[in-house]
Amino acid sequence: MEFGTRLLHNGNEIDPHTGAASIPVYLASTYHQSDPDRPGRFDYARSGNPTRLALERTIAELEGGVRGFAFSSGMAAISTVFLLFSSGDHLVVSRDVYGGTYRVLTQVLSRLGISCTFVDTTDLKQVEAAIRPETRGLFVETPSNPTLKVTDLAGAAAIARSRGLILIVDNTFLTPYYQTPLELGADIVVHSATKFLGGHSDVVAGLVVAKGEELAERIGALQNTVGAVLGVQDAWLLLRGMKTLKARMDVSARSAARIAEWLADHPAVRRVYYTGLPGHPGYRLQAKQARGNGAVLSFDVGSRERAMQVLKRVTLPLVAVSLGAVESILSHPATMSHASMPREERERRGITDGLLRLSVGLESAEDLIADLAEALSEKKMFVLGGG
Ligand SMILES: *Cc1c(COP(=O)(O)O)cnc(C)c1O
């Protein structure tokens, strides 16, 4: 069946006890054991909850893995997955990785004796060169944030397989609608479900899917041990949000493509990053390994002053961190999502002071373009002292 159908009919959408068309919010922390000799499916809600289980099974089905896990945030999910590694282990990580992932690697795991090397994973030779005898994992984010660099997932998986590494892919930007890393050879997919999966800027959540039983067992044990599980109300919100994932993505991605083309022709824009533009370095690879380009694009207006003016002048997008919502969100990576990254590291990643990231929502593309046109207008820039 096609993705849109599987979102709604995956075996986890109807309450098995009542037939209710929405999985109930099971607000219970513990479960009565009517026969202590034969424990039931659920015993304590950190270990399992029926609402959370429906969500976990849904994401596992959509990503094509054996088991899914829901966490209290994307970072809780990613941090828990990193606990698969031990002191002395080394990881190779995409240089353009999400700021929070960079922070947990460089400020927390480093203290625990888990080291990492950041490389441009779009160049697989750099990945191979960074592998050491103690390397155990490869962590890839593609397309990356915010310059949308594309890493060859099948190529990365071939390296991981031959060198015995666990390949972990952050699939937040594309979701399983557009990209299924497990089918390309990854071992684990992680998500900030706060973004497109939730889709409504109203829930913070993380999801993990394991491709095989062995890793699924270990992640399940870590989820239960560390305990950063997703709350039941949020699990329900996420299940609800995900039902419209395809419908939302179709509209937002179509608008993103139009806006990217429009920005590429705009005289005040120095550069546009969108994998759907033929000039993007990852255009062909993206077309090969993914089924779409998603709804996030970035563009460089040349200076911090100009970026600030655009942020102040737009009226439709939220000016905020985060992405992947029904409303468009415009952010300034240098001072928002990547503020915790040292300036030198940021600039190596192309995150200049003039870079803006736009997550396209469900507003009309025409209205968004008109709003951006006004915000970018040279005359206004000049009057405000920019340029
Ligand atoms: C937001 C984000 C995260 C972190 O998720 P939270 O839900 O905010 O903890 C991780 N990776 C990517 C690509 C993200 O955009």
Domain tally, the chain: 2
Residue 55 has pLDDT above 60, yes or no: yes
Average pLDDT over residues 275-279: 97
Q: How close is the Cα of 242 to the center of ligand 1, in Å?
A: 17
Whether 233 and 249 map to the same domain: the answer is no
Q: Is the peptide bond before 24 cis (omega within 30 degrees of 0)?
A: no
CATH code: domain of residue 311: 3.90.1150.10
Out of 242, 260, 284, a domain closes at 242
Are both 231 and 266 inside the same structural domain?
Answer: no
Active site residue 288: no
- 162: tokens are 């031959």
CA separation for the pair 322, 315 (Å, rounded): 17
Same domain, 266 and 237: no
The tens digit of pLDDT for each residue in 204-220 reads 999 999 999 999 999 99
- Domain range for 154 is 3-242
Task: Check whether residue 117 and residue 11 sit in a common domain.
Answer: yes
Q: Give the DSSP letter of residue 112.
A: G
State the average pLDDT over residues 56-69.
Answer: 98
Q: Using one digit for the tens of pLDDT, what is the confidence trace for 144-193? A: 999 999 999 999 999 999 999 999 999 999 999 999 999 999 999 999 99
Span from the CA of 326 to the centroid of ligand 1 (angstroms): 17
The residue from 223, 242, 261 where one domain ends is: 242
Measuring from atom 7 of ligand 1, which residue has the nearest CA? 74
Give the active site residue among 26, 98, 102, 273: 98
Q: What is the pLDDT of residues 235-251, one digit of tens each?
A: 999 999 999 999 999 99
Do 160 and 258 lie in one domain? The reply is no
pTM of the model: 0.96
The model's pLDDT over 106-154, given as tens digits with 9 standing for 90+, comes to: 999 999 999 999 999 999 999 999 999 999 999 999 999 999 999 999 9
Q: Are residues 55 and 201 located together in one domain of the fold?
A: yes
Q: Are residues 175 and 290 in the same domain?
A: no
Burial 218-229 (b: 16+ CB within 10 A, else e): ebbebbeeeebb
> Any residues with CB less than 8 A from the CB of 156 and at least 6 apart, and which?
121, 124, 127, 138, 140, 167, 185, 186
Nearest alpha carbon to residue 233 among 196, 200, 204, 191: 204
CATH number reported for the structural domain that contains residue 227 in this entry: 3.40.640.10
**Which residue out of 195, 246, 346, 357 is catalytically annotated?**
195
Q: Is the pLDDT of residue 61 over 50?
A: yes
* The ligand 1 atom nearest the CA atom of 101: 10
User: Catalytic one among 89, 96, 170, 187?
Assistant: 170
235 and 255 share one domain: no
Say yes or no: 189 and 320 in one domain: no
325-383 pLDDT tens trace? 999 999 999 999 888 778 887 887 889 999 999 999 999 999 999 999 999 997 655 54
Last residue of a domain, one of 242, 277, 299: 242
pLDDT (tens digit per residue) in 302-333: 999 999 999 999 999 999 999 999 999 999 99
**Residues 215 and 311 reside in one and the same domain:** no
Closest ligand 1 atom to Cα of 100: 4
Q: Do 214 and 315 belong to one domain?
A: no
Q: Give the pLDDT of residue 387.
A: 42
pLDDT of residue 386: 46
| Chain mean pLDDT for the chain | 95
Residue 319: Cβ within 10 Å count:
14
The answer to whether the beta carbons of residues 325 and 201 sit under 8 Å apart is yes
Place of tokens 């991981």: 160
Q: Buried b / exposed e across 105-123, counting CB within 10 Å, b at 16+?
A: bbeebeeeebbbbbbbbbe
Query: Pairing mode, if any, of strands 271-273 and 296-300?
Result: antiparallel
* Number of alpha helices (DSSP H) and beta strands (DSSP E) in the chain: 15, 12
| DSSP letter string, 5-63 | HHHH-SS-SS-TTT--SS------SB---SSTTS--S-SBTTT--HHHHHHHHHHHHHH
- C-alpha to C-alpha distances, 33 to 24, 40, 54, 324, nearest whole angstrom: 21, 6, 21, 41
Q: Are the C-beta atoms of 43 and 34 separated by less than 8 Å?
A: no
Q: Which atom of ligand 1 is nearest to the CA of 173?
A: 13
Residues 22 and 161 in one domain: yes
